[in-house]
Structure 1
Amino acid sequence: MNKTEREQLKHNEAADAIVAASSYLSRYGRTLGLAAVAVLLLVGSVAGYRAFKARAEERAQAQLAAAVEILNAPVAQAPAPGLAPTPPAPGTYATEAARADAALKQLLATAEGFGNTDAGIRARYYAASLHAETGRVKEAADLYTQVRDAAGASTLLGRMASLGLASMQVRQKQFDPAIKALQELAQRRDGPLPVDAVLVQLAEAYQQAGRAAEASQTLQRVVDEFPQSPYAADARQRVEALQATAKVS
C-alpha cells in the first residue's frame, strides 16, 4: 500500500466514523450530544496516534540506517612496519572492534528509543548478533529473548531470534532448552527458516551435549532429506566422522 492509499484509508475511516456519529445523534436527539462529541474526540485521538506512530517509525528507520552505514564503513589499513600510525580518515574506523562498538552503540540507542517500532526491534536483533560475534554471550541471549517476545515467536524475525538464542544457550552449555527450541523450529517445514540449516545447528547442539548418536542421526537427515543443500556435503563428512568415532569407542 503506497502513501496515497494509506492517507485515503485514514480519511475514509475518519469520515465513516463522523457520519455514523452524526446519524446516531440526529436519531436520538440532544441527550446523546456528549456521546457524539466523545466519538469525534476518539476519532481524532486514533488519527493522532497513527500519525505519531508513523513519525516514530520514520525516525527509527533513520537511526537504523545510520547504524548500518557504520557497519559498512571502511576500516583503516594498518601502518607499514616502522611507520607511526596515522589518524583514520573521516568515516573510517581504526579497527574492526572500534567500528563494531560504534555500530552497537547506535543500534542500542535505536532499540531503546524506539523499542515498539519494527525498526527498533530489528535494531535489537542486530545488536544481539554483534554481541554474539564479539563473545558477549549473555548480552546476546538477553537481546535475542527480547526480540523473540517483541516480534512474536511465529514471525521470521522471532524465529531468527529463537535460533540465535539457542546458539547462545549451547555456548553457555544450556543444552536442554536449546535442543528443545531447535527441535520445534525444525518441525516447522512451512516456516520461513530453512530446515536444513536448523538441523545442522540442532546436530551441533546434540554433539556439544555429548549425544553423538542423535547428532549423527540429525546430520543424516540433512543428507537424505536435503541432498541439494549447501550443508549436505559437510553433513555427510561429519556423519562418517561420528560413526568412525563410535566404532573406535
Structure 2
Amino acid sequence: MHSKIELIDMSKKNPGEPGIEIIESPEALAGQINKAEVFFLKNRKVVLGIGVAVVVAIAGFAGYRFYIDGQEGTAQNALASVVYDFEADSLQKALNGAGGNEGLLSIADNYKGTDASNLASFYAGVALLKQGKYDEAISRLQSFSSSDLLIHARAQSLIGDAYLEKNQAAEAISYYQKAADYEKNEYFTPVYLMKLALAQEKANQPADAVATYKRVVDEFPLSSEVVNAKKYMGLLEGQVGK
C-alpha cells in the first residue's frame, strides 16, 4: 500500500524559487555551504575585519552607556541644586552657579548626552531669554530635544519669542507654526496660534493673521483666547476688505 505522503518531484519545482530547493534537497544545501566556505576563504580578511568592527562598536556603545549612566546621577544632582535659583528668578546664579554649585550652562556643556544636560539647555534658554540675550537663548533652546508634547512645543514657541524680540518676524512665524502644529491640544495650541497671528501681523501678512485668528475661533471655541481672537480678527478684516 502506498503511503499518502509522497516525495516532492524536484523537477517540478518552479525555477524562480531557489529557497525551496535548499529546504527540500540535502545536495542543494551542501552546495550552498560549499559556496559559503569558498567565499569566506577568498574574503577572510574582510569578513574578520567586519566582525571585529561590529564587536568593537558594541563594546564601545556599552562603554559609552556605562559612562553616560555614571554621569547622569552627578548631573541630576547638580541640576536639582540650581533649579531652585531658576524658580526664584535668580537667573544669573542659575546660569553660572554659586556657592560651589554648577550652573545651568556648565551642566548643559559638561554632561552632554545625559537627560540632565538636555533639560539644563532648556532652562538656560528660558533664563537667557528673560535676560534679553536672544541669540544665546535661541542656541540653547535649539539644542534641546524632548518627546514630551508640552515641553517640545514650548521650546519651539520660546524660540519664536526670541526671534520676534529680534524683529525677525519670518523666523518667529516658522517656530510658532511648529509649536502650534505639534501635538495639538486645547490648552496650549490656541496660545501658540495667537502668537503666530501676531507675528504674521508684524510681517505685514494680515490675511494670514485673519486665517490664524479664525482657527482659534473655529477649532478651539472654548479657549480663553477666543475673545481676543475675535476682536483682532474683526479689526484686521476691515483692513483686508473682508
TM-score normalised per structure 1? 0.62
**1:65 correspondence with 2:80:** yes
Which protein is bigger by CA-based radius of gyration?
2
Looking at structure 2, the residues matched to 133 and 57 of structure 1 have their Cα atoms a distance apart, in angstroms, of 27
**Partner amino acid, structure 1, of 2:78:** Q
Identity of aligned residues (%): 29
- Structure 1 173/55 Cα, relative in aligned 2: closer, same or farther at 3 Å? same
Does 49-58 or 191-200 show the bigger shift? 191-200
Aligned residue in 2 for 1:10? none
Superposed displacement of residue 123, structure 1: 0.6
SS in structure 2 at match of 1:210? coil
Gaps of 5+ in 2: 1-50, 97-102
Aligned residue in 2 for 1:118? 115
**1:231 correspondence with 2:225:** yes
* Residues 123-150 of structure 1: CA deviation (Å, up to 9, x unaligned): 1111111111121112111212222xxx
Aligned residue in 1 for 2:20? none
Aligned residue in 1 for 2:34? none
Does 173-182 or 203-212 show the bigger shift? 173-182
Aligned residue in 2 for 1:132? 129
2:71 to 33, 45, 56: 56
Q: Is the 8 A contact 2:187 2:223 kept in 1?
A: no
**Partner amino acid, structure 2, of 1:100:** L
Q: Is the 8 A contact 1:160 1:193 kept in 2?
A: no
- Structure 1 183/38 Cα, relative in aligned 2: closer, same or farther at 3 Å? closer
Aligned residue in 2 for 1:108? 105
Looking at structure 2, the residues matched to 243 and 40 of structure 1 have their Cα atoms a distance apart, in angstroms, of 66
Aligned residue in 2 for 1:173? 167
Aligned residue in 2 for 1:204? 198
Gaps of 5+ in 1: 1-35, 74-95
Looking at structure 2, the residues matched to 37 and 240 of structure 1 have their Cα atoms a distance apart, in angstroms, of 69
Looking at structure 2, the residues matched to 137 and 41 of structure 1 have their Cα atoms a distance apart, in angstroms, of 43
SS in structure 1 at match of 2:231? helix
Superposed displacement of residue 46, structure 1: 5.1
- Structure 1 68/192 Cα, relative in aligned 2: closer, same or farther at 3 Å? farther
Q: Is the 8 A contact 2:207 2:240 kept in 1?
A: no
TM-score normalised per structure 2? 0.63
Looking at structure 2, the residues matched to 42 and 187 of structure 1 have their Cα atoms a distance apart, in angstroms, of 38
Give RMSD over aligned pairs: 3.4
- Structure 1 52/191 Cα, relative in aligned 2: closer, same or farther at 3 Å? farther
Between Structure 1 and Structure 2, how many residues are aligned?
Answer: 185
Superposed displacement of residue 50, structure 1: 2.8
Looking at structure 2, the residues matched to 191 and 144 of structure 1 have their Cα atoms a distance apart, in angstroms, of 22
Q: Is the 8 A contact 1:107 1:124 kept in 2?
A: yes
Superposed displacement of residue 218, structure 1: 0.9
Q: Is the 8 A contact 1:170 1:178 kept in 2?
A: yes
1:141 to 129, 138, 143: 138
- Structure 1 68/51 Cα, relative in aligned 2: closer, same or farther at 3 Å? same
